[in-house]
Amino acid sequence: MAVNPNSVIYAGYGCYRKTYDVTGIITTKLRNGQTTIHASNDVFGDPAPGDKKYLYVVWKEGDLLKSGVTGEGDNLNLG
């Protein structure tokens, strides 16, 4: 079952304190049926030039908080 876009609490792309809030982008992609998200500067911009970035998503499923993470250049499957 795919992550419900309304259950996403926060999504970020970057590293350390150089991170973009990409919650809106992730929820829009999920609403459009896209459950595999490619972590790249082309999709989210580059908050930390020269550093390896990570995409992380936190969502609520029932009473549980869940999360997923992937590195720059890889895909995160939220389906």
**Domain ranges in the chain?**
5-74
* pTM of the predicted protein model: 0.94
Averaged pLDDT, 62-77: 97
Q: Find where tokens 């590195």 sit.
A: 71
- DSSP 8-state class, residue 41: H
With H, G, I as helix, E, B as strand and everything else as coil, classify residue 5: helix
Q: Give me the pLDDT at residue 1, please.
A: 74
Per-residue model confidence as pLDDT tens digits over 1-59: 789 999 999 999 999 999 999 999 999 999 999 999 999 999 999 999 999 999 999 99
Strands 8-15 and 64-71: unpaired
Are 2 and 79 in contact by the 8 Å Cβ rule? The answer is: yes
